[in-house]
Amino acid sequence: MQRIIQKAKDFNELVMFEHSIFSLPFIFIAMIVAADGWFGLWLLIMGVLAAVSARNFAMGVNRYADIDIDAKNPRTTNRPNVDGRLDKVSIFIFIVVNAAIFVAVAYMINSLAFALSIPILVVLASYSYIKRFSSLAHVVLGVALGLAPIAGVVAVSASIPLWSVLLSLGVIFWVAGFDLLYSLQDMDFDKDNDLYSIPSRYGADATLFISALFHALAVLFWLLFVWAADLGLFAYIAAIGSGFVLYYEQMLVRKDFTKIDRAFFTVNGYLGIAFFVLIIIDRTVS
């Protein structure tokens, strides 16, 4: 039993399960807006399973593909995929199991969700390889998480309305923007190992500018989402408030690069939760 518990802890560390907080709020925001309120216990369970299995799959592929890179990077040498706690076979099985769970959940939701499940997995897996030859990897990561709202509305209504696309575009630029900030930590390592991150190719100043631009676009698309979905005051507060949060994140990193972890994990986690809570309030009082 102790061995099983330890393996579970190792897999949790591998994929950083607690960071699912980035994708979960926005999949449920989309579901609440699509259903105009509570969407039911069944879809809640299916939404959680889909989001968690998709993220586990994506992180598993990333860790599997990056074993050689992580072994060279001093920041990542203690990860379970590098230090021997999890071998490649175990990680591969973990990837396959989570892919199967995601496809099965999509099948149980509706036919459109099932039809989109494999293409979504392809997109989720692509990030791990695109960064080896293109600086667009940051945007691809954004697309991977930006699919969450699309998945949420498909689960509820088996359709993809304009507002869900605008919400997703906001998530794409939000994630790409904070991934740029996070990648500043590995700027020198990426440059030395011929990896195509924007910091390694264009430097810190350009990265900060592009990140700020992406975050401005995120707020713009979230405002357009609120307008297109015909939401109320609290939804506008959520979109505008996210702008202030992202401004704080940008200033935090510019002031001190050692604050990157705080900006990446803490600030972005609060943003998603606050946005979600304000959408609930908006749908409750309107």
pLDDT digits (tens, 9 = 90+) for 23-32: 689 999 999 9
Cα atoms in the Cβ-side hemisphere of radius 13 Å centred on 262: 13
pLDDT at 87: 79
Range scoring the smallest mean pLDDT among 52-66, 218-232, 269-283: 52-66
Asked whether the predicted pLDDT for residue 86 surpasses 90, the reply is no
Range scoring the smallest mean pLDDT among 76-85, 133-142, 196-205: 76-85
Asked whether the predicted pLDDT for residue 119 surpasses 70, the reply is yes
Phi, psi for 197 (deg, rounded to 5): -80, 155
Band the pLDDT of 258: cuts 50, 70, 90.
Answer: low
CA–CA distance, 133 with 110 (Å, rounded to integer): 36
pLDDT at 97: 94
Phi, psi for 87 (deg, rounded to 5): -85, 170
pLDDT at 285: 85
pLDDT at 18: 57
Q: Quick one: average pLDDT of 52-77? A: 82
pLDDT at 17: 61
CATH fold of 2-285: Tetracycline Repressor; domain 2 (1.10.357)
Q: Quick one: average pLDDT of 242-250? A: 92
Q: pLDDT exceeding 70 applies to what percent of the chain?
A: 88
Torsion of CA 93, 97, 103, 107, to 10 degrees: 150
More confident residue, 6 or 276: 276
7 Cβ neighbours under 8 A, 6+ residues apart: 86, 90
More confident residue, 204 or 196: 204
Asked whether the predicted pLDDT for residue 2 surpasses 60, the reply is yes
pLDDT at 257: 63
Domain range list for the chain: 2-285
Mean pLDDT of the chain: 85
Asked whether the predicted pLDDT for residue 5 surpasses 90, the reply is no
pLDDT at 4: 65
227: nearest Cα among 218, 215, 216, 239? 239
267: DSSP letter: I
pLDDT at 91: 85
Asked whether the predicted pLDDT for residue 260 surpasses 80, the reply is no
Output the six-digit token pair for 152. 């949420």
Range scoring the smallest mean pLDDT among 95-109, 182-196, 200-214: 182-196
Phi, psi for 135 (deg, rounded to 5): -75, -5
- pLDDT tens digits, one per residue of 122-170: 988 888 788 778 778 888 888 888 888 998 999 999 889 999 999 999 9
**What does pTM read for this prediction?**
0.89
Asked whether the predicted pLDDT for residue 265 surpasses 70, the reply is no
Q: Quick one: average pLDDT of 91-107? A: 93
- pLDDT tens digits, one per residue of 170-179: 999 999 998 8
Answer yes or no: are the C-beta atoms of 180 and 210 closer than 8 Å. Answer: yes
CA–CA distance, 59 with 12 (Å, rounded to integer): 11
